[in-house]
Amino acid sequence: MKLPPGVSASDFAAALEKFAAVVGKEWVFSSQDDVDLYRDSYSPLWHEEDERVPSAAVAPDGVEQIQAIVKIANTYKIPLWTISTGKNLAYGGSSPALSGSVILDLKRMNRILEVNDKNHYALVEPGVSYFDLYHYIQDHKLNVWIDPPDPGWGSPMGNSLERGGGRTPMRDHFASVCGMEIVLANGEVIRTGMGALPESKTWQQYKYGFGPYVDGMFSQSNFGIVTKIGIWLMPSPEAYRDGVVSVPKHDDLIPFVDTLSFLIDSSVVRGTMLLDSPLLSYRASQGGSVLDMPGGPTVAETEKLGQEKGLPYWSMELHFWGPPNVIDAQWEYAKEKFSAIPGATFKDGRYYHFPMEVKDTDAVPWVALGIPSLSVFGLIAGGNGHMDFSPIIPMQAEAVFEVLSAFGKAYADLGIEPKNQFFSLPWCFFPHSFVLLFGFPIAHDVEKNRESRRAFQRLVEVAAEHGWGEYRTHVAFMDAVSNVYSFNNHALRRLHERVKDAIDPNGILSPGKSGIWPKRLRQQRA
Amino acid sequence: MNMKKAAVLLILMLTAATFAWAGPPQEKDSQLERGHKVYDKWCFPCHGTGVGKPGTDALKARGQNPAVLEERTDLTAALINTVVRHGVGFMPVFRKTEISDAELDAIDAYLMRNNKK
Amino acid sequence: MRLPPGVSAGDFSAAIKELESAIGKEWVFTSDEDVNLYRDSYSPFWHENQEPIPSAAFAPDSVEQVQAVVRIANRYKIPLWTISTGKNLGYGGSAPLLNGSAVLDLKRMNRVLEVNDKNHYALVEPGVSYFDLYRHIRDRDLPVWIDPPDPGWGSPMGNALERGGGYTPMRDHFDAHCGMEVVLPDGELVRTGMGALPTAKTWQQYRYGFGPYMDGMFSQSNLGVVTKMGFWLQPQPDAYLSGSVTVPKHDDLTPLVEIFANLMNSGVVQATTTVVSPLAYSRDPELVKLRASGSTRDLEDYAGQKGIGYWSVSLPLYGPEKVIAAQWEYAKQKFSAAIPGATFRDGASYKFPLTEEQLTKIVNPVPFGVPSLQTFSIGGPKSQGHMWFSPIIPMTGEAVIEAQSVFDKVAQSLGYVTGTTGFPIWNFFARAFVIIYFFPIEHDIEKNRRSREIFRRLIKTAAEHGWGEYRTHTAFMGDIMDAYSFNNHSLLRFHETVKDALDPNGILSAGKNGIWPKSMRKAGA
């Protein structure tokens, strides 16, 4: 049996027994078979010594049980790694950053406490999935949409706390959080925002409460265990439509992104878009790359290829949700604005009025319609999973050009084919910036994974040299990413760690999460 | 303070006939220019011309004519300085990090530029 | 010379000497004349002993100087009270909560460091005012809007940190910020969000960075001194249109607010407005009588006879002309389908930029991104100041009616005449309403005492109904934090744990929002 670092076998056994007394024997998992279920299915360290594996798991079914577990963990100095639904695949799944941690699995706490379709919010427990919430809303015929991220089996709470993104106008999931209940490391329960008011009527309607607004401290964090979270929903829109804008030339991206940024920041275009390049995709399909490889084709050559093949250099599908007359006006206006770019072309796309009838054959953008789905997992051909490299870059064409050449050069320097990842062009999951989601395939092949990790590590460094940092990362790379956020001798991380030491002196909650180590385990930092 | 404010108010409404000389002509011009700038930044938003100027409106309601400070010919440095540093009615005080003593002198010069000699 | 609490005269003079050499003699204020400028011009304690008076003021001009001041304050345990422009009037102005605190005045740090009109953001220092930022943008002819709160002389940073609101779609000022630089109580400098990346290109474009997102803990807080802050701006919209909806019956408020909430939360309407009753303020004697003693039915009849309606809301729309026209059309459809007798009126419409000529005619230009001081006419020309009672209530018709009647009863029981529907209801923030209720400040001890008594009664009554204030005057910070007492004040105790860890000497803004450092915690309770 794997043990938490610094914990004796007898202490560990005693702790597990006490956990069992709290949650019931059947909810403490310590057999190898059971504990293996908490390994990261997409671990980049499969079959290697360094794979982050837990020592046990405990699955409480209530706030009081969590409070009791935390107290036991303090007594025996047992590190607990909290998961909600444990579906954080590509970023570590259900596995800890510190091997030997006990997984605190909150999946059993799966109650939907409230969905309000007049003020448009939900209050949920950690174990509720997007599917659960969607079905609840459908069953109760409520007039609201959720905003699922690509995979729908994850937790609205977990995804929001990891600051994930979806596709609809509510795409910035942390920004949609309103009110939390948290068990602190000492077992104390706090409610944030208006929840601190005992009879509060607006816990899910006003975020900030009175005094310091602390919710953000509990995102991507190991400062507490969130047990309830409020999430703002969108009233069901009357209609959805989309349309594609394409521009022919490389440098057209400059006015293209300026226009996009204007439209997004003016709220004319909302939701999440992906920059596409039919031309670069074609170049990649012919054995080239989307990235600009040193010695590869020049811009002029690529543009010439585009002319021959009738492929635009850049394109983007825009999405609109709302009353039909409003979204028609928005699409009209967007076309007017993009028409300033010579050669810009437009294509009307789907148009749905809700509730809609769907034919099996329709290529429906499920997630953009607030319907959770797992279709994203079909994207990755080959391999046994993936992990995401996801730096934030400026919402500027120049930054996109810089990315394509900087990462092209990085791959060339590494001597690795850039084909080992997918999606090279940016998304706008968040306002005001782009984010890249390079997906690296994970294989049950030590050599291939090593190559992916080598590329990943190098890209983190290259990105930092260019002023780009990751918004989120796999547990195996949390220290690596945290290390580049080093302004003023890591002043922010030192602040995080001072707070950590003050509120979790025994360092029991998720050690190593986001590169934050409690004092007694700080030497574990990579 | 109450008495002081009342006194300030009283002075505001009276015609005072003091005269302050603000140095030789060139210096005087640059002092006026500076005063105009500081006035535009700090005083105009409340005491200027046009709608939505509560300082002007308040003085008008108190029977002051003209109510716009720039149009006055009876202001004294003592009065201006007292009001700026002690406030009056809903007008708060202005600190020296906002309007320095030198800038206040310049406002004085600017607002007294049309005073009868 | 006044002394900070617990600091000896000898220590204080020694500290002053060090401060003078750190930031310059002329920026260390200790004379009563200079220090009095930091009193709250709208203090509810005028002429009373309880008025907190600062002992000194220090005005650094750079981050390094702020760090130096903070380090000296730590050595001599001098409590500091940080202000940006010090214009937080109605909520305490520039005065500290703790008598004898020294004011850390950041007004001299007034540089606009960047305005970007492609990604629509600004990076500013604490002393920059909305007027300053507006002029900076106008002088360069940049097609971006700021979102000023009512008074324009305040600080975008200060207002956002106090979580104030404005009128355009960027109205939630804390929500619109992106990236901070903060001097911690020990003098250490941190940058939050992407600013933690030394070469960051997106400090003002992505809020969260990596790891715990700390910015919120520096709002309404005494955990650090914010020295730089980024703000998202709105691209200048093409046009503006406002349309008002009026409904005839008392109970129409429920569907009115329900549709309003749907439009807001759908993004069809995106800016600040107020739900009013045309019956609330008129001085027509007949109406005054009906408000005091008439039934709802009487008021409805009166409204019907005069053709003024019972409730009204005007919808401010910003954007491309064809889009806002479509939004107004749609809103009218929704309201008329749900509420018999709903009537509509087209209000002002503008194309931007406004001409100078147009600007001089607009009494309140704040909703068009132009800072103003027009709001100070609120108490009438004889006003001597004001403070605000500002509870958050649910965005429902029922809550509005309940809050109106509950607060009205409190005010009336204390002899304060308000009248039905007299507590203004705003939507400065997404998804909830906030009442912004005006209390006059007088140079009259008795009147102020009574105002304070009513204020405290309202806080208690609000808390009993589950409504809490979003912000308050320094005089009531303790009362309000007391009301936020879930689980034996566990959130406050969490704040205090963090406070003690980061500020063991308790030098930053003691008592702010009810948070006291360990050494003074008894004093605060």
Q: How many CB atoms lie within 10 A of CB A300?
A: 9
Q: What is the tally of structural domains in chain C?
A: 4
User: Binning pLDDT at 50, 70 and 90, where does residue B22 land?
Assistant: very low
**Do B and A touch, counting CB pairs below 8 Å (3 needed)?**
no
Give the pLDDT confidence score for residue A422 in this predicted structure: 65
d(Cα C37, Cα C95) in Å, to the nearest integer? Answer: 9
d(Cα A16, Cα C204) in Å, to the nearest integer? Answer: 47
Same domain, C68 and C171: no
Across chain B, mean pLDDT equals: 83
Greater model confidence, C411 or A456: A456
Q: Could you tell me the CATH number of the domain that includes residue B106?
A: 1.10.760
Give the pLDDT confidence score for residue B21 in this predicted structure: 47
pLDDT at A7 over 80: yes
Instruction: Dig out the tokens for C246 from the structure.
Output: 């009026």
∠ CA C157-C161-C164 to the nearest 5 degrees?
Answer: 95
Same domain, C264 and C214: no
| DSSP result, A73-111 | HHHHT--EEEESSS--TTTTTT--SSTTPEEEE-TT---
pLDDT at C477 over 50: yes
Ramachandran angles phi, psi of A346, nearest 5°: -135, 145
Whether residue C256 lies inside any domain: the answer is: yes
Please give the span between the terminal C-alpha atoms of chain C, in angstroms, as a whole number: 28
Across the interface, whether the CB atoms of B58 and C37 are under 8 A apart is answered: no
Shortest distance, CA A454 to any CA of chain C (angstroms)? 21
Instruction: Give the domain extent around C343.
Output: 239-352
Interface ipTM above 0.85 = yes
Domain end marker among C352, C387, C410:
C352
Whether residue B91 lies inside any domain: the answer is: yes
Across A61-70, average pLDDT: 98
Same domain, C231 and C122: yes
Only one residue has tokens 């390094």, namely C64
Strand partners, A113: none
Residue to test with chain C: of A326, A390, A504, most C Cβ within 10 A: A326
Instruction: Using CB atoms within 10 Å of the CB of residue C51, give its burial: 0 to 12 exposed, 13 to 18 middle, 19+ buried.
Output: middle
Least confident of A205-209, A334-338, C433-437: C433-437
pLDDT at B75 over 60: yes
The domains of chain A, with CATH numbers, are 1-108+476-526 (3.30.43.10), 112-235 (3.30.465.10), 239-370 (3.40.462.10), 386-475 (3.40.462.10)
Whether residue B116 lies inside any domain: the answer is: no
For residue C310, the 8-state DSSP code is: S
Whether residue B52 lies inside any domain: the answer is: yes
Instruction: Dig out the tokens for C192 from the structure.
Output: 């939050």
User: Binning pLDDT at 50, 70 and 90, where does residue A392 land?
Assistant: very high
Across A419-440, average pLDDT: 86
C364 Cβ under 8 Å from any chain B Cβ: yes
Q: Report the run of H or E that residue C325 belongs to, with start and end.
A: helix C321-338
**Which residues neighbour A415 within 8 Å (Cβ) at sequence distance 6 or greater?**
none
A269 Cβ under 8 Å from any chain C Cβ: no
Instruction: Dig out the tokens for C74 from the structure.
Output: 């730590």
C481 Cβ under 8 Å from any chain A Cβ: yes
Across chain A, mean pLDDT equals: 94
Same domain, C219 and C251: no
AA letter at B28 = K
Least confident of A124-133, A211-220, C124-133, C378-387: C378-387
Across the interface, whether the CB atoms of C108 and B97 are under 8 A apart is answered: yes
Provide the chain C residues 414-433 that lie in CB contact (below 8 A) with chain A. 429-432
C408 Cβ under 8 Å from any chain A Cβ: no
Exactly one of C91, C130, C310, C437 is catalytic; which is it? C91
Across A359-373, average pLDDT: 82
d(Cα A198, Cα C485) in Å, to the nearest integer? Answer: 6
pLDDT tens figures, A280-303: 999 999 989 999 999 999 999 999
- Give pTM, 2 decimals: 0.95
Whether residue C374 lies inside any domain: the answer is: no
Across the interface, whether the CB atoms of A322 and C268 are under 8 A apart is answered: yes
pLDDT tens figures, A431-480: 899 999 988 888 889 998 999 899 999 999 999 999 999 999 999 999 99
Q: Which chain B residues are closer than 8 Å to C385 by Cβ?
A: 90, 92
Give the pLDDT confidence score for residue C294 in this predicted structure: 81
Residue of chain A whose alpha carbon sits nearest to that of C501: A502
Across the interface, whether the CB atoms of A212 and C204 are under 8 A apart is answered: no
Across the interface, whether the CB atoms of C429 and A221 are under 8 A apart is answered: no
Active-site residues of A, by number, are 91, 471-472
Whether residue C18 lies inside any domain: the answer is: yes
Q: Which chain C residues are closer than 8 Å to B52 by Cβ?
A: 362-365, 372-374, 377
Whether residue C493 lies inside any domain: the answer is: yes
C34 Cβ under 8 Å from any chain B Cβ: yes
Give the pLDDT confidence score for residue B10 in this predicted structure: 45
Angle of helix A324-338 relative to helix C321-338, nearest 10 degrees? 180
B4 Cβ under 8 Å from any chain C Cβ: no
Active site residue C130: no
d(Cα A289, Cα A293) in Å, to the nearest integer? Answer: 7
Domain end marker among C205, C235, C265:
C235
Active site residue C91: yes
Give the pLDDT confidence score for residue A124 in this predicted structure: 98
Same domain, C14 and C46: yes
Whether residue B13 lies inside any domain: the answer is: no
Across the interface, whether the CB atoms of C131 and B45 are under 8 A apart is answered: yes
For residue A151, the 8-state DSSP code is: B
d(Cα A1, Cα C187) in Å, to the nearest integer? Answer: 47
Q: Could you tell me the CATH number of the domain that includes residue C488?
A: 1.10.45.10
Instruction: Give the domain extent around B49.
Output: 2-7+24-111
Q: What is the tally of structural domains in chain B?
A: 1
Whether residue B28 lies inside any domain: the answer is: yes
Least confident of A268-282, A456-470, B1-15, C142-156: B1-15
d(Cα A450, Cα C206) in Å, to the nearest integer? Answer: 31
User: Binning pLDDT at 50, 70 and 90, where does residue A252 land?
Assistant: very high
d(Cα C172, Cα C156) in Å, to the nearest integer? Answer: 12
User: Binning pLDDT at 50, 70 and 90, where does residue C368 land?
Assistant: very high
Whether residue C446 lies inside any domain: the answer is: no
User: Binning pLDDT at 50, 70 and 90, where does residue A150 land?
Assistant: confident
Same domain, C161 and C63: no
What chains are in contact with A, requiring at least 3 Cβ pairs below 8 Å? C
What chains are in contact with C, requiring at least 3 Cβ pairs below 8 Å? A, B
Across C328-334, average pLDDT: 98
Same domain, C95 and C167: no
Across the interface, whether the CB atoms of B93 and C443 are under 8 A apart is answered: no
Provide the chain C residues 55-74 that lie in CB contact (below 8 A) with chain B. 57, 59
Q: What percent of chain C has pLDDT over 90?
A: 88
∠ CA A452-A453-A454 to the nearest 5 degrees?
Answer: 90
Domain end marker among C177, C207, C235:
C235
Nearest to C213 among A190, A216, A486 (CB): A216
Whether residue B18 lies inside any domain: the answer is: no
pLDDT at A491 over 90: yes
Q: Which chain A residues are closer than 8 Å to C503 by Cβ?
A: none
Across the interface, whether the CB atoms of C429 and A206 are under 8 A apart is answered: yes
Q: Could you tell me the CATH number of the domain that includes residue C101?
A: 3.30.43.10
Same domain, C31 and C44: yes
